Every structure is written in C-alpha cells, then in structure tokens.
Amino acid sequence: MVFKITGKHITITDAIRAYAEEKTSRLPRFYNTISQAEVLVDGDATAGKVSVEIIARGEHSNVFVATEVAEDALKGIDAAVRKLEEQLRRKKTKERNNKHTGGGFEPA
C-alpha cells in the first residue's frame, strides 16, 4: 500500500509519520482493495487545533475520506482512522449483502 503524509502549517515529525503509517496500514484489513492512503495534517496556531484528513483510495475509483479536528495530531489521526474504518466496514458489508441477490436456478 502506498502511504503519503503532508503537513500544512505544522512540521511532520518522525513520530507522527510512523504513527500515521502504522494506523493506516491496518485499513486493508477492513476493505482489501485499498491501495493508497494519504494523510493531510493542517495545524492552526491561533486556535491550537489540528485538522487531520485521511483519503483512502481503492480499486474501481472507490475513494473514502475522513476528517477530524483535535487538539493533538495523534488524537486526530486516531479519530479519523476510526471514522474511515467504519466507512470501509459499511462498504464491505453492503457489497457482501448485494452479492447473492439473484433467485438462482430451482430444480423441478
């Protein structure tokens, strides 16, 4: 899986990078076609808040986005990953439920 992290108005430390990569590496467990994860961290110095946006891209143009605002980058990453995991879980459940909807062949 391709991982990319970008920081705006904030310095991305090695600890933040490693934490975000470790958390997003678990996403294919919930939806196996995820091929790319992009984390955008935007710091707001005046409000003391950090905005985290995670964009996960999968096959067939499936794009999942989760955004969270927190006081700390690590807390924001945690919350955004939780939101994204829920989206992926819902998508996988929907696909599984729709897979076998046909009546099929009934022998006489």
Domain residue spans of the chain? 2-98
The CATH code of domain 2-98 reads 3.30.160.100
Rounded to two decimals, what is the model's pTM? Answer: 0.86
Report pLDDT for 108.
Answer: 60
Confirm if 49 and 70 have CB atoms less than 8 A apart: yes
- State the pLDDT confidence band at 101, using cuts at 50, 70 and 90: low
Residue 81 CB contacts under 8 Å (≥ 6 apart), including other chains: 23, 24, 26, 27, 54, 66
Does 95 or 82 have the greater pLDDT score? 82
Angle, CA 98 vertex, CA 94 and CA 104 arms, to 5°: 165
Report pLDDT for 104.
Answer: 59
β-sheet bridge partners, residue 30: none
